[in-house]
Amino acid sequence: MSDPACDSTHYSPSAASDTSSSCAVSRVSAVATHPLAKRIIAGERRALAQGITLIESTRADHKSQADILLTQLLPQTGGAVRIGVSGTPGVGKSTFIEVLGLFLVGLGKRVAVLAVDPSSVRTGGSILGDKTRMEGLACHPDAFIRPSPSGGTLGGVARRTRESLLLCEAAGFDVVIVETVGVGQSEVAVAGMSDIFLLMLAPAAGDELQGMKRGVMELADLVIVNKADGDFRRHAERSAGEYRAALHLMRPKSPHWSARVLLVSALEERGIEEVWAVVQEHRAALGSSGEREAQRVLQAKDWMWREVVDAVETVLRTDVEVAPEVAQVEWLVLNGELLPTRAAQHILQTFCSLSGKIAGCIPE
């Protein structure tokens, strides 16, 4: 049945402005299809890889095709457990994720790993070595590992990680793990796309606890002290106690969950079952209270506004009318002739004027 608001026989001038965008979306989803969609839903790994390559592309024609693909797959998404994993460099994130992934496929789960590698600020290149570090999991038929460059995006994630996550869900994966570049000031990005955020830390790291940003600790749903084996076991137990004490002083981010601290040895494959038990407990607690659904809704809203900001920046840098003005203003800023705040206002004012907006849409 067609939507009356989108039917010309039901046209109402007062409703036109409210329904025009929704009508456009519904018509796209009803008419446009992408050949990869059925293959991704069928669980074809090659099609999934091709789909992620498509959505990561910066070409304009690829972007429109990616939008069609995502719109078609959207009803198939939302069923996976979304796990964000971050930690200090060298803490053993890749080893832990491989052991956890092999444990989960042993339980009959299908596991996807989206591993983000840092991009060079000079060349833009990335090593993308996570697949070689997870050789056992990469070869498993029920696992899928996709390394992607961060591309300079803040938050330790690639720009299209959210879309990649949705494609993995549409392909039928039960668990999607997002491994970030590492702990930093913008780790809110991975926490903003996952159901549970795991923060991995090393033992014997008293100085690390001092230097750890409070905001990062507050984001964690589960703190994992890895490498709790051999001579490090005693240090790991002491560190776990320090982290518990630190978390006790912080306000929980959810009224239905208090962050836990677990000792794990990925090398000896100990503590993995306990980690999965906590993930399930967290999922049940937030699911029964309705908080998980509410959290995902807010994440979608945040995603929308990030897209708006990215799109506006792209237009400002590429529009044939605005870009020359931007270059001129940048030159003035570089030479100390114009304050950055005034420069930003000038650029946006120019954009508004050329877009047919009211001349004063950006305050002087």
The edge-to-edge listing of strands for the beta sheet with 111-117 is 143-149, 111-117, 175-179, 81-87, 196-201, 222-225, 260-263
Q: Is residue 98 part of a domain?
A: yes
Please check whether residues 55 and 145 belong to one and the same domain.
no
Please check whether residues 151 and 223 belong to one and the same domain.
yes
The whole-number pLDDT of residue 81 equals 97
Count of domains forming the chain: 3
Q: Is residue 13 part of a domain?
A: no
Q: Is residue 8 part of a domain?
A: no
Residue range of the domain that includes 326? 298-354
Please check whether residues 271 and 146 belong to one and the same domain.
yes
pTM, whole model, 2 decimals? Answer: 0.79
The whole-number pLDDT of residue 355 equals 59
Please check whether residues 72 and 82 belong to one and the same domain.
no
pLDDT tens, the chain, 364 aa long:
444 444 433 334 334 444 444 444 444 444 468 899 999 999 999 999 999 999 988 888 898 999 999 999 999 999 999 999 988 778 889 899 999 999 999 999 999 999 876 543 343 433 444 556 788 899 999 999 998 765 544 444 556 889 999 999 999 999 999 988 665 544 667 888 899 999 998 886 555 555 555 667 788 899 999 999 888 888 899 889 888 888 888 888 888 999 999 999 999 999 999 999 999 999 999 999 999 999 999 989 988 888 888 888 888 888 887 888 888 999 999 999 999 999 999 888 887 876 554 444 554 4
The whole-number pLDDT of residue 306 equals 84
Last residue of a domain, one of 254, 288, 322: 288
Q: Is residue 102 part of a domain?
A: yes
The whole-number pLDDT of residue 155 equals 42
Please check whether residues 336 and 228 belong to one and the same domain.
no
CB distance 218 to 185 below 8 Å? no
Q: Is residue 154 part of a domain?
A: yes
Q: Tell me the CATH number at 61.
A: 1.20.5.170
Q: What are phi and psi of 87, to 5 degrees?
A: 170, 170
Please check whether residues 103 and 248 belong to one and the same domain.
yes
Q: Is residue 18 part of a domain?
A: no
The whole-number pLDDT of residue 183 equals 52
Q: Tell me the CATH number at 93.
A: 3.40.50.300
